[in-house]
Amino acid sequence: MTEILKTISLSIGYDSHPVTSDINITLNDGDIIALVGPNGAGKSTLFKTLSSHIKPIGGKIELLGKDLLSYSPKERAKLLGLVLTERPDDMFLKVYDVVAAGRYPYTDMFGNLTEDDKKVIKASLELVGIINLIDRVFNTLSDGEKQKVMIAKAIAQNTPVIMLDEPTAFLDYPSKIELFTLLKRLAKEQHKTIIFSSHDLELLLRYTDNLWIMAPKKPFVAGNSLQLLKDGVIKDYFKIKYSDNEYLIKENV
Amino acid sequence: MKNSKIVLVFGGIILLGLILFVLNLVVGSVMAPLDDTLKVLFKVDTNNTLNVIIFNYRLPQALTALLAGAALAVAGLLMQTLFRNPLADPSMLGISSGASLGVGLVILLTGAISGAAISSFGWWSTIGVSLAAFIGAVAILFVMLAFSARMKNMTTLIIIGLMIAYLAGSITDILKFFSLKEDIHAFVIWGMGSFSGVGTSKMTVFATSIIIGLIATFFLSKNLNILLLGDMYAENLGLNIKRNSVIIILVSGYLTAIVTAYCGPIAFVGLAMPHIARFLFKSSDHHLLIPATMLIGIDMTLLCNLIARMPGLDGNLPINAVTAFIGAPVVISVIMKSKKQ
């Protein structure tokens, strides 16, 4: 096990107004973490801070033992891949082009793809199970397929960490299950460290072991999902009724 | 699209360009037979009145049209990709309005200081106007660069560009209000666009400046390609968003400024040509789109120049009337087609 990502008394927020403070977490390779919390809890602020879109207002984030801010944008692009809810919207952009963009940090100044790059692109599409879509126009795909293409892009980017912002948001039930299975496979077989945010609490209790929970004016909590359920943390943070919580515990534990 | 098909389409566009180029030399108020034209061109026959017409007028005009077409079309492509807006073109940066303002200022100041119309000043009326257009365009370009270096959000940048364009436009209108009648006429003529202003004397400077800008665009394809994924993805892939938009605006604005200074504000080429390139090649890869857009822009301006120079019209038809006449139906058909998809 290698330590990949670590935060030391991290405070996050905008313009020195902290949303949440004192976040201390350590992630190893192969760890898969779901970030949950009601709207306005600061999930996307944490997400943007960890992906270095915004700067922390206090504390430190270490990626592979080095301060996240000390990496150049190019170096960071080889360490941390993103899958977002925003989708490319271009009439002629092909699936292949989108996944090829993942090779951007590795190509020469003209962006020419080498034979190795092309192999990585195909292998990424195969890993996600959508090699049959390679020549399709991205815009014509279903939401689930688009999601997989973006994940293939992140795999082609070949980063130890992959962060996904609400990857289940637009998916139907079977696609959600498929996505969880895929993420687990990536963590286990490719030793990726995976962080994703989600609102699907019910599914998360069933499919993920570890949760990060955030809520407004409450401390950041990390822990085993079922333990957090039993301890009543989930009940408190999501304002779930006592009887409903008992039901959730009965169903899942 | 298969590689063989790409080569075929490229070949077609280049062939069309060659035909249009030759027609530009042949057609005019004095029709030059093709064989005579070729003789003049390859210096077989130099003792001919055609020699003067072709080398002094038609060849420089065709070369100006060719260079301006490539420059404006690719400048439009850069803007459309940067702003991810199919209707973006260099005028969004306020470049043309800045050029107009510069010309307006020169015309008014000349008239106000001397009390005489600018047309009575000989060389100053041509060099002065080009110079003023260039300074005006570059001044606005620097204002836009200052904004783009501060801003990550492309939508706000578009709005600022349009506002600056309006502002420059209204100052120009105020200037026009105080100008002499003859000067307003000169200003209107400049605003119609023409490829005949460069001529042989200024060709070297014009061509060199344009070619430098065109070469620069080939270094942008990598960054333009990942911009298509959206700013957040591009940033995550290691692109410096602000620096990149400054560079793209600089190259696009530079090309537009030079063309506008020499040929006047020419509309529609930058807006419409990238769409034709995308539809012909069914691609959004800038390695392909940049040369394709340039070549299609060349075909377009050569065609427009030819139409404007048809016998009987005698070069009096303003280029802007022709570009819009061809450009507008293209934009409409592209929008209709994209709605259907």
Min Cα distance B95 → chain A (Å) is 26
Which pLDDT score is estimated for B119? 63
* Lookup: tokens for A69: 């801010």
A176 and A246 in a single domain? The answer is: yes
Which pLDDT score is estimated for B117? 65
* pLDDT higher than threshold 90 for residue B47: no
Nearest to B340 by CA among B263, B279, B294: B279
Contact B285, A97 (CB under 8 A): yes
* pLDDT higher than threshold 70 for residue B340: no
**A139–B287 C-beta distance less than 8 A:** no
Backbone phi, psi, residue B290, to 5°: -65, -55
For the segment A103-120, what is each residue's pLDDT rounded down to a tens digit? 999 999 999 999 999 999
Chain A residues touching residue B239 (CB < 8 angstroms)? 73, 104
A48 and A105 in a single domain? The answer is: no
Residue of A nearest to B278 (CA): A92
3-state secondary structure of B50: helix
* pLDDT higher than threshold 70 for residue B341: no
Among A106, A129, A158, the domain-final residue is A158
Contact B79, B270 (CB under 8 A): yes
Among A137, A158, A179, the domain-final residue is A158
B81-92: average pLDDT: 85
Q: Which residue has the tokens 């034979």?
A: A115
A154 and A164 in a single domain? The answer is: no
Which pLDDT score is estimated for B62? 94
Which pLDDT score is estimated for B334? 66
CATH number at residue A34: 3.40.50.300
A68 and A177 in a single domain? The answer is: yes
Which pLDDT score is estimated for A5? 95
> pLDDT band at A239, cuts 50/70/90?
confident
**A139–B235 C-beta distance less than 8 A:** no
* pLDDT higher than threshold 90 for residue A208: no
pTM of the entire structure?
A: 0.90
* pLDDT higher than threshold 70 for residue B118: no
Which pLDDT score is estimated for A217? 86
Which pLDDT score is estimated for A152? 96
d(CA A100, CA A97) in angstroms, rounded, equals: 5
The predicted complex's ipTM stands at 0.92
Which pLDDT score is estimated for A99? 97
A231-249: average pLDDT: 85
**A101–B237 C-beta distance less than 8 A:** yes
Chain B CB within 8 Å of residue A113 CB: no
Distances (CA, A) of A97 to A69, A84, B230, B282, B283: 29, 17, 13, 13, 10
Contact A204, A36 (CB under 8 A): yes
Contact B248, B305 (CB under 8 A): no
Contact A81, A162 (CB under 8 A): yes
For the segment B270-319, what is each residue's pLDDT rounded down to a tens digit? 988 998 899 889 899 999 999 999 999 999 999 999 988 887 766 567 88
Residues sharing a CB contact under 8 Å with residue A166, sequence separation 6 or more, in sequence order: A85, A196, A197, A198, A199
Q: Which of A197-201, B33-37, B66-70 shows the lowest per-residue confidence on average (mean pLDDT)? A: B33-37
Chain A residues touching residue B229 (CB < 8 angstroms)? 88, 98, 101, 153
* pLDDT higher than threshold 80 for residue B122: no
Tally the domains of chain A: 2
Nearest to B259 by CA among B326, B337, B311, B207: B207
Which of A93, A97, A104 should be substituted to probe chain B, the one whose Cβ sees the most B Cβ atoms within 10 Å? A104
Q: Which of A92-96, A211-215, B324-328 shows the lowest per-residue confidence on average (mean pLDDT)? A: B324-328
> pLDDT band at B87, cuts 50/70/90?
confident
How confident is the prediction for chain B on average, in pLDDT? 86
B169-188: average pLDDT: 83
- More confident position, A242 or A191: A191
* pLDDT higher than threshold 90 for residue B177: no
A188 and A136 in a single domain? The answer is: no
**A76–B229 C-beta distance less than 8 A:** no
- More confident position, A1 or B252: B252
A145 and A31 in a single domain? The answer is: no
Percent of chain A scoring above 70 in pLDDT: 100
A57 and A177 in a single domain? The answer is: yes
Nearest to A181 by CA among A170, A169, A168: A168
* pLDDT higher than threshold 70 for residue B111: yes
How confident is the prediction for chain A on average, in pLDDT? 91
A151 and A168 in a single domain? The answer is: no
Domain that holds residue A117: 87-158
Which pLDDT score is estimated for B316? 65
Give the DSSP per-residue string, A189-219: HS--EEEEE-S-HHHHHHH-SEEEE--TTS-
Among A135, A158, A181, the domain-final residue is A158
Give the DSSP per-residue string, A56-75: -SEEEEEETTEEGGGS-HHH
Which pLDDT score is estimated for A30? 92
Which of B229, B284, B287, B334 should be substituted to probe chain A, the one whose Cβ sees the most A Cβ atoms within 10 Å? B229
Chain A CB within 8 Å of residue B310 CB: no
Chain B residues touching residue A101 (CB < 8 angstroms)? 225-226, 228-229, 233, 237
**A139–B237 C-beta distance less than 8 A:** no
B122-146: average pLDDT: 82
Min Cα distance A91 → chain B (Å) is 7
A3 and A29 in a single domain? The answer is: yes
Give the DSSP per-residue string, B52-121: HIIIIIIHHHHHHHHHHHHHHHHHHHHHHHHHT-TT--GGGGTHHHHHHHHHHHHHHHHHHHHSS-GGGG
A179 and A126 in a single domain? The answer is: no
**A157–B228 C-beta distance less than 8 A:** no
A168 and A149 in a single domain? The answer is: no
A74 and A165 in a single domain? The answer is: yes
Chain A CB within 8 Å of residue B196 CB: no
Percent of chain B scoring above 70 in pLDDT: 91
